[in-house]
Amino acid sequence: MANKPMLDVLIIGAGFAGICAGIKLRQAGIERFRIYDKADGIGGTWWNNVYPGAACDIPSHLYCYSFEPNPHWSRLYSPQDEIQAYIEGCADKYGLRPHLSLGREIRALRYDDETATWEAEFTDGERVHARFVINGSGGLHRPSTPQFKGAERFRGITMHTAEWDRDFDPTGKDIAIIGSAASAIQVLPAIADRAKSISLYQRTPNYILPRNDFAYSDRWKRLFRRFPLLNRLHRLMIFYRLELFVYPIITRGEYRAKRMEEARRYIKVMTRGRKVRAAMVPDYEMGCKRMLISDDFFDALNADNVELVPQPIEEITETGIISSDGGERPFDAIVYATGFDMEGHLFGIDITGENGITLRRAWNDGAQAYRGVMAPGFPNYFMATGPNTGVGTASVVYMIEQSIGWIMKCIRRAGADKVVSVTPEATAAYNSRIQAAFPDTVWTSGCQSWYRKPDGRIEILYPHDARSYRRQMKRVDRQHVLFTPVAEATRPTLQAAK
């Protein structure tokens, strides 16, 4: 072991989380780290999702690092290429390129009790060792494609929005879009005017609210550049608007009822035709599934060459799709806008901690982590977006900054010779508090959503607002988080081995 090269920190993923971790490590003077990503480029979500219309749905000035504001955002909700350029710019500015290893997929992580270090195994069999691991592998990188009967027979083009072929030209084509949620409502308006026809297959309607997007004028961009404080104020304003006016939809029934009424009215006004209207207005509580925003979706949906198919898909044939209304529609291309496999997020890598316990076994009854970041039995292992860190309103990037900030406090305090671990008691207590908060939210109001497991447990979302997460991540509680000298941390195993 002593001869093996040892990283101080191994980072998985070069998305917002991995890049943030790299920046913070360098700022702390820690240089022996590597960022591994299975993709051939950095950016994570924004490297993968290049479908037409891809953009953030949290205002850009909040969907970026607080320590690296960007006065140049072109719009309130900037498109994919700008977000990608922003992440690339951060990697350059903070000197992360020499720390990156791309096209490298980590298959397994194993904790060595004797040396209190981690071994990462790549899909090509190579192994790398590190004291600390920061898992920034994100939640949305494994496209989920439902298994429709006959799908393999289809002779036309098939793609998932997260695997978009940049050479695909929709011009003059009959296209099916399966799914009607976040990516579908972005891609439809972006290609509808070129396609010959588009059929949008919808399983459940969504609350789609106006986006009120706009372009920042050159004058505003100049002002943001010249007066960084103005930029910060703008970010703060966006943050508090979400916290004070959007987050209560999740927790306050009366407030939600009013917003829901307005939203239903909006959808009715924006849709054409009785049948479409009936199919587009959700019958569940607003916020129970992810709320969507768009300024151009309804116009596209109302276009003469676009059809909503709210009936379930029965079968895919060599040439098209048969739905339960009996009709077969022929297509040149089928686009799956069907989201991501969330299992892949928490269990995508085989992780074995102390005493050979796997994370899969430790989480047999449900994934849970201390403050979303650490799990007992997995020392020196940190998650950037672990269980129960998905915030209801503010940006994921905001949450990532809080978790990475906390992780950095631990790594700094551990120094060269301590092992960081969390107690099972603190983890259990934290999670009972988290789970006890869900009945007060709309997420348990009865809709079927990818937020909830079949047994009703919610493992993805954080039940409080983003400010509360920031508060809890401000300090490391020494009663919950232990810093054990390496010699002591490894002693039980060595004694057991004698």
Q: Can you give the binding site for ligand FAD, defined by CB under 6 A?
A: 12-18, 36-39, 44-45, 49, 54, 56-58, 63, 105-106, 136-138, 140-141, 183, 348-349, 384-385, 395-397, 400
Residue 339 CB, nearest approach to ligand FAD (Å): 8
Instruction: Look at strands 418-422 and 481-485 and give their pairing.
Output: antiparallel
Residue 77 CB, nearest approach to ligand FAD (Å): 7
Report the residue number, 64 or 313, with the smaller CB distance to ligand FAD. Answer: 64
Q: Give the neighbor-by-neighbor strand order of the sheet with 174-178.
A: 157-160, 333-336, 174-178, 197-201, 306-309
Residue 107 CB, nearest approach to ligand FAD (Å): 7
Report the residue number, 106 or 322, with the smaller CB distance to ligand FAD. Answer: 106
Burial class, 217, CB count within 10 angstroms (exposed 0-12 / middle 13-18 / buried 19+): exposed
Residue 316 CB, nearest approach to ligand FAD (Å): 24
Report the residue number, 154 or 462, with the smaller CB distance to ligand FAD. Answer: 462
Residue 33 CB, nearest approach to ligand FAD (Å): 15
Residue 398 CB, nearest approach to ligand FAD (Å): 8
**Nearest-angstrom CA–CA distance, 332 and 157:** 6
DSSP 8-state assignment for residue 16: H
Angle at 27 between CA 67 and CA 116, to 5 degrees: 120
Residue 58 CB, nearest approach to ligand FAD (Å): 4
Using DSSP, state whether 53 is helix, strand or coil.
Answer: coil
Give the Å distances, CA to CA, from 477 to 30, 160, 371, 411.
23, 43, 11, 14
Report the residue number, 426 or 460, with the smaller CB distance to ligand FAD. Answer: 460
**Nearest-angstrom CA–CA distance, 467 and 465:** 6
**Nearest-angstrom CA–CA distance, 466 and 473:** 11
CB 62 within 8 A of CB 395: yes
Report the residue number, 43 or 170, with the smaller CB distance to ligand FAD. Answer: 43
CA 447 to chain centre: 21
Residue 243 CB, nearest approach to ligand FAD (Å): 14
CA 226 to chain centre: 33
Residue 390 CB, nearest approach to ligand FAD (Å): 9
CB 386 within 8 A of CB 462: no
CB 407 within 8 A of CB 430: no
CA 96 to chain centre: 22
Q: Phi, psi (5° rounding) for residue 135?
A: -90, 105
Report the residue number, 12 or 321, with the smaller CB distance to ligand FAD. Answer: 12
**Nearest-angstrom CA–CA distance, 45 and 57:** 13
